[in-house]
Amino acid sequence: MAKALLILPHLPQPMGAPYLGQQYIAASLIAAGHEVKCLDLAAVRFTGSDDDAVREVERYAPDLVGMTLFTLNARRGYLLAERLRGASRLLVAGGPHPTVLPDEPLANGFDVSVAGEGERAIVAIAALLDRSGPSGPDAAAVAAGLGEIPGVRTASGHGPPGGVLDDLDALPYPLTSYPAFDASAYSADGLVVPGGMMTSRGCPARCTFCANYVTGRAYRFRSTADIIGEMVALAEHHGIMHFPFWDDAFTALRPRLNALCDAIDAEPALAGCTWTCITPGNMVRAHDLERMRAAGCVAINFGIESGDYNILKAIQKGQRPEHVRAAVRAAKQAGMVTIVNFMFGFPEEGVDELGRTLALMQELAPDTDYFNNRGVLMPFPGTAIYEANHERYGFSGWWLDPARIPDELDTRGLSSEAASALLERDPTLDQDFFRYSEPVREMIARCVRFKAQHNHGTIARMQQQYATPAV
Ligand code: SF4
């Protein structure tokens, strides 16, 4: 058995639930017989600092420390890694950022970098440490073993490409990792670690701004029986009857969607359950939405991005404004809460294009409960937009510059007016990645404000609706 401490470094936006990717990593290690503890420095109720992580590594004395790195917390992870060097037998980086830039963590204090889906790699790494015995690793044997693990890279070489996981049913349910997390970091009662589920991995679409490179573009999905099994286990063992599905494109395959809705309806343990999902606006039809609502779907999150046909084409969104209108209206008519995502500041975008996006948002507003917050384009490494523009606009490696990381987005304890005011401004616009002209900048700011004010109106309406009537 090896001991692993999995850390999520601080992020600009607090996490209301443990990151599902880290839950899968922890569950895979536990299923393989290893001991795991998770420390979430980004959790919404975590009030400590990196010092707590350093102390926890000293106290827990793990064989390996694994860190999940996104682009927005990579620098924080590197600073922490420098402090943790030598405190465990291996310091391992995984997640979206090392998947794109596997050498960067190695140059910033990590021993090992894992690219892609990490479940198989982390179990192989832990097994290697376990086999090396209680008296400490045979460094040469560990180094040689690491060099053979698919998806793993070290300073002295790398294994073959990790590939994608085809049999998602073979993965343990993330709920088996719950004991490894401190539930009080997320909820006041400290009883249940809230979370969500993934019923598929990857996405059939090819949007040029999208950073979903860990699960990649190969779309794979779990069997209906496996999904229902996880939902029933969450209901029976944790009393959870609401299930946020975090898939990139939940409705991409209609036969699968219908089979899942039928299976939810047929399962007595799920009677009365509710769920939410995310999908692009062109991957769902009106009768799908009615079927989903009948099976408990209470809210749907649409990726729309632009109201301009040429921008949608340039970013390879694969949809037209008319798809979007039909989908959002049908979801509202089916009785769902609608969340609609728009983005601003694509390099091809001018005032006219942004005007069409603003017009579409205004048109959709009566059927939209919430728009996504802010939404100014951030060029993440590995995306087609980053690759095509970073040299031209001079933002190569921006995530290593602390001044480029957006301000904290923390609305805890704020009144709804104060939260709305915070969200009416997007600090990414100030970064000016694409050197916007003044008219474009003003139009983007107007679009961001429109969303924040609409959301504020929805929240105010709901507060009024659910206010206790005076007696
Ligand atoms: S549909 Fe969503 S998840 Fe899929 S490529 Fe586009 S932005 Fe990414």
Nearest CA to ligand 1 atom 3: 248
Is the CB–ligand 1 distance for residue 207 below 6 Å? yes
HSE value, Cβ hemisphere, 13 Å, CA-based, for 447: 32
- Asked whether the beta carbons of 282 and 318 are under 8 A apart, the reply is yes
pLDDT at 469 over 60: no
User: What is the distance between the alpha carbons of residues 359 and 447, in angstroms, rounded to a whole number?
Assistant: 10
Is the CB–ligand 1 distance for residue 385 below 6 Å? no
Neighbours of 96 (CB within 10 A): 23
User: What is the distance between the alpha carbons of residues 272 and 290, in angstroms, rounded to a whole number?
Assistant: 16
3-158 folds as Rossmann fold (3.40.50)
For the segment 315-337, the average pLDDT, to the nearest whole number, is: 92
Exposure letters 154-179 (e unless 16+ CB within 10 A, then b): beeebbeebebbeebeebbbbbbbbe
* pLDDT (tens digit per residue) in 160-203: 988 899 999 999 999 999 999 999 999 888 777 778 999 999 99
Q: Which segments of the chain belong to CATH 3.40.50.280? A: 3-158
Return all residues near 402 (Cβ < 8 A) that are at least 6 apart. Answer: 75
* pLDDT (tens digit per residue) in 55-80: 999 999 999 999 999 999 999 999 99
- Asked whether the beta carbons of 308 and 277 are under 8 A apart, the reply is no
How remote is the C-alpha of 377 from its chain's centroid? 16
* pLDDT (tens digit per residue) in 74-118: 999 999 999 999 999 999 999 999 999 999 999 999 999 999 999
Specify the pairing of strand 35-40 against strand 64-68. unpaired
Six-digit token pair at 213? Answer: 């490179």
* pLDDT (tens digit per residue) in 16-41: 999 999 999 999 999 999 999 999 99
- Percentage of the chain with pLDDT > 90? 80
**Residue among 128, 23, 12, 116 nearest 74 (CA):** 12
3-class state of residue 196 by DSSP: coil
- State the pLDDT at residue 133: 59
- State the pLDDT at residue 468: 55
- State the pLDDT at residue 142: 87
- Asked whether the beta carbons of 376 and 370 are under 8 A apart, the reply is no
- Asked whether the beta carbons of 107 and 205 are under 8 A apart, the reply is no
Q: Which segments of the chain belong to CATH 3.80.30.20? A: 200-466
* pLDDT (tens digit per residue) in 391-417: 999 999 999 999 998 877 777 777 878
The type of residue at 398 is W
Separation in Å, CA 158 to CA 129, 144, 151, 263, 463: 17, 10, 8, 43, 55
Neighbours of 445 (CB within 10 A): 17
For the segment 378-400, the average pLDDT, to the nearest whole number, is: 96
User: What is the distance between the alpha carbons of residues 315 and 26, in angstroms, rounded to a whole number?
Assistant: 35
Nearest CA to ligand 1 atom 7: 210
- Asked whether the beta carbons of 247 and 280 are under 8 A apart, the reply is no
**Phi then psi for 222, rounded to 5 degrees?**
-80, 160
- State the pLDDT at residue 79: 98
- State the pLDDT at residue 134: 55
Is the CB–ligand 1 distance for residue 247 below 6 Å? no
Six-digit token pair at 457? Answer: 């109106």
The pTM (predicted TM-score) of the whole model is 0.94
Distance from residue 308's CA to the centre of ligand 1 (Å) = 17
pLDDT at 306 over 70: yes
Secondary structure letter of residue 376 according to DSSP: B
Is the CB–ligand 1 distance for residue 203 below 6 Å? yes
- Asked whether the beta carbons of 214 and 221 are under 8 A apart, the reply is no
pLDDT at 135 over 80: no
**Phi then psi for 414, rounded to 5 degrees?**
-90, 150
Secondary structure letter of residue 60 according to DSSP: H
Q: Which of 198, 201, 203, 378 to mutate to test the pocket of ligand 1 (most atoms within 8 A of CB)?
A: 203
Six-digit token pair at 13? Answer: 């936006």
Distance from residue 153's CA to the centre of ligand 1 (Å) = 27
Q: Which stretches of 343-434 are assigned E, i.e. beta strand? A: 370-371
The closest-lying atom of ligand 1 relative to the alpha carbon of residue 317 is: 6
Mean of the per-residue pLDDT values for the chain? 93
* pLDDT (tens digit per residue) in 444-459: 999 999 999 999 989 8
- Percentage of the chain with pLDDT > 70? 97
Q: Which three-class secondary structure string do you get for 16-48?
A: CCCCHHHHHHHHHHHHCCCEEEEEECCECCCCC
* pLDDT (tens digit per residue) in 217-253: 789 999 999 999 999 999 999 999 999 999 999 999 9
pLDDT at 365 over 90: yes
Is the CB–ligand 1 distance for residue 284 below 6 Å? no
Nearest CA to ligand 1 atom 2: 248
pLDDT at 303 over 80: yes
In the CATH hierarchy, which top-level class contains the domain 200-466?
A: alpha beta
pLDDT at 284 over 50: yes
Distance from residue 31's CA to the centre of ligand 1 (Å) = 31
- State the pLDDT at residue 318: 86
- State the pLDDT at residue 471: 45
pLDDT at 272 over 70: yes
User: What is the distance between the alpha carbons of residues 199 and 365, in angstroms, rounded to a whole number?
Assistant: 30
* pLDDT (tens digit per residue) in 143-162: 889 999 999 999 998 989 88
